[in-house]
Amino acid sequence: MDWLENHLLLVILAVVAILVFIFLLKLAVRAAILFGIIALIAIVVFGVSPGKIADIGKEGANSASKAYEKTIEPVINKEMGNAKHVEKKDGSFLIESKSVKITGRDGDDKAKVTYNGKTYNVDMNVIKPIRKRIDTTKQ
């Protein structure tokens, strides 16, 4: 009993931590079940194919690429004369100019474009033409 009195705060914190973990676990399971039910209703009742549900998720990724094409690509094209392109032996690359930084790795689907402190994930097919226009330094 003496040990319990000396460590009462620790015991209370451990119980609270366990209760919070159980609550978060239940919340995650409920969310997964809810999303599963919504997907099942969409498939069965509305006749939406599982492929269409996957396509809806891909549309979000494509919208990021479209935003890139409208906002960042014109800036990149303007700065291509001053850009530095470095390719490393491991397949990674860095394209850097005054306000744009592009990093990625050959074989990946996405590259990271940083402009004005904001980072965007952009489809690699958009980056390949830019890489071809710049002199490359191999490391």
Average pLDDT, the chain: 79
Count of domains for the chain: 2
Task: Judge whether 59 lies within some domain.
Answer: no
What residues make up the domain containing 35? 2-48
pLDDT value of position 59: 75
Task: Judge whether 66 lies within some domain.
Answer: no
Mean pLDDT value across residues 47-69: 72
Tokens matching residue 60: 């979000």
Q: What is the pLDDT of residues 64-120, one digit of tens each?
A: 667 767 776 776 677 666 778 888 888 898 888 887 888 999 888 888 988 778 888
Task: Judge whether 38 lies within some domain.
Answer: yes
pLDDT at 3 over 80: no
Asked whether 42 and 53 are in contact (CB, 8 A), the reply is yes
What whole-number percentage of the chain has pLDDT above 70? 82
Cα separation of 62 and 46, whole Å?
25
pLDDT value of position 139: 47
Task: Judge whether 114 lies within some domain.
Answer: yes
Tokens 């396509």 label which residue?
55
Residues 6+ apart with CB under 8 A from 87: 93, 136, 137, 138, 139
Task: Judge whether 58 lies within some domain.
Answer: no
Same domain, 44 and 79: no
Tell me how crowded residue 76 is: count the other CB atoms within 10 A of its CB.
Answer: 21
Same domain, 86 and 33: no
Asked whether 80 and 96 are in contact (CB, 8 A), the reply is no
pLDDT value of position 72: 67
What order do you get walking across the sheet with 92-96 strand by strand? 118-123, 110-115, 100-105, 92-96, 84-87, 136-138
52: confidence class by pLDDT, cuts 50, 70, 90: confident
Report if pTM > 0.75. Answer: no
Residues for the chain: how many in total? 139
Tokens 């009742």 label which residue?
45
Same domain, 134 and 90: yes
Highest mean pLDDT among 9-18, 48-57, 73-82, 127-136: 9-18
138: confidence class by pLDDT, cuts 50, 70, 90: low
Task: Judge whether 60 lies within some domain.
Answer: no
Same domain, 80 and 26: no
pLDDT value of position 22: 92
Checking DSSP bridges between strand 136-138 and strand 84-87, what pairing results, if any? Answer: parallel
What ranges in 45-139 are assigned the alpha helix state H? 50-71, 73-79, 124-133
